[in-house]
Amino acid sequence: MERIGFIGLGLMGGYMAANILAADYPLKVFDPKQSAVDALVAKGAESVQNAAALGRDCSIVFLCVPTSEHVEEVINAADGLRAGAKAVNNPLIIVDCSTSQPTVTRRLAESLKGEGITLVDAALGGTPTQAESGQLQAIVGSDDDTLARLRPVLESWAGKILHCGGVGTGHTMKLLNQFLAMSYGAVFSEALTIGAKAGITPQVFDSVIRGSRMDSGFYQTFFQYVLERDRNAHRFTLANAGKDIRYVAALADALEVDAGVAHAVNNLYASALKQGEGDKFVPELSDIVASRHQLSLFKELA
């Protein structure tokens, strides 16, 4: 049986790791947040002191960390995965489930190949609720043979496995998905403010859009916050959203694509982060935009 390691036990990773355990795989975990580690240890996981221990002892290690910079750190640090695997010539497979920069993913994969370590990307599609139930999408960039080996483990936390091509394509497709999602968040926020300025309340706006061709799952959770003030409806922070759209703009630049929309959306999220709003969730961007025009969508709901 594969020996599984997991780094990054946050909102998504904690549920994913729990589902790997539930599928009876032996699991070792590492995370700076001790309470997250303790929760998995209580379910049968083993805690280790650093990433190198996972690189040494595991056959497959999943990463679910905030940024490409974090991915590079857990792989390349003196006590990182590369050092642990190299010390014992372990032919490790690293599966990066983070939303990472594809250019970094490909560069890391190439640098690891010479040491017998395989890096693939399996970006996540879905919500924390789907993570808990094991019904995420795994958006994968991998060769066919490695994916065949990984598939049984992926199936412990993914309801759908989408193979996009070689290494880096999973992260590319995830960024394109995030481009669409964060653009919707920006458009909804500005549309609500324009409407409020013109006398259109959020309720009237929703009465026209809901059930139309412009309705969607994203729209519904976004407006569950707008109309009901339910922060848990759409739990994705502006800090993460801003990072993702920044990666989209950077990818477009690297590919020499004149992506004016991506840069405009990036600028809006960056401005919210500059205000110190990173801990708020994406639907709360609607309040941030409204407040810049001396409006309160909450008062419009009264």
Q: Please provide the average confidence, as pLDDT, over all residues in the chain.
A: 96
CATH of the domain at 265: 1.10.1040.10
233 in the same domain as 142: no
CA atoms within 13 Å, Cβ hemisphere of 75: 29
Its domain, for residue 219, covers 172-301
Close Cβ partners of 79 (under 8 Å, ≥ 6 residues apart) = 50, 51, 52
Do 57 and 15 belong together in one domain? Answer: yes
Give the type of residue at 253. Answer: D
Residues 151 and 214 placed together within one structural domain of the fold? no
Mean pLDDT of 85-103: 97
The tokens describing 205, both together, are 């706006």
| 99 in Cβ contact with 171 (< 8 Å) | yes
CB atoms within 10 A of CB 228: 10
Task: State the SS3 of 72-96.
Answer: HHHHHCCCCHHHHHHHCCCCCEEEE
Same domain, 30 and 160: yes
* Residue 9 and residue 139 share a domain: yes
Residue 299 has pLDDT above 90, yes or no: no
Backbone angles phi, psi at 96, to 5 degrees: -90, 105
Q: Are residues 153 and 23 in the same domain?
A: yes
Confidence tier at 1 by pLDDT (50, 70, 90): confident
Predicted confidence at residue 302, as pLDDT, reads 58
Last residue of a domain, one of 166, 195, 226: 166
d(CA 167, CA 279): 31
Dump pLDDT digits (tens) for 230-251.
999 999 999 999 999 999 999 9
Confirm if 235 and 128 have CB atoms less than 8 A apart.
yes
Note whether 119 and 90 are same-domain residues. Answer: yes
Share of the chain above pLDDT 70, in %: 99
* Distance between CA atoms of residues 113 and 285, nearest Å: 42
User: Is the model's pLDDT at 301 over the cut of 70?
Assistant: no
**Whether 142 and 271 share a structural domain:** no
Q: Are residues 154 and 257 in the same domain?
A: no
27 forms beta bridges with 4
Count of C-beta atoms within a 10 Å radius of residue 152:
12
| Each residue's pLDDT tens digit, 42-66 | 999 999 999 999 999 999 999 999 9
Q: Using an 8 Å Cβ cutoff, are 81 and 87 in contact? A: no
Same domain membership, residue 215 and residue 137: no
Query: What average pLDDT does range 25-43 have in this prediction?
Result: 97
- Which pLDDT band, with edges at 50, 70 and 90, does 282 fall under? very high
264, 191: one domain: yes
From 166, 187, 216, the end of a domain falls on 166
* C-alpha span between 143 and 273 (Å, rounded): 37
What's the pLDDT tens digit per position in 145-167? Answer: 999 999 999 999 999 999 999 99
Name the residue with higher pLDDT: 289 or 129: 289
Q: Which pLDDT value is given to residue 300? A: 63
Looking at the structure of the chain, the number of domains it has is 2
CATH assignment of the domain containing 139: 3.40.50.720
Among the candidates 111, 134, 166, a domain finishes at: 166
Name the pairing type of β-strands 60-63 and 46-47. unpaired
132 and 200 in one domain?
no
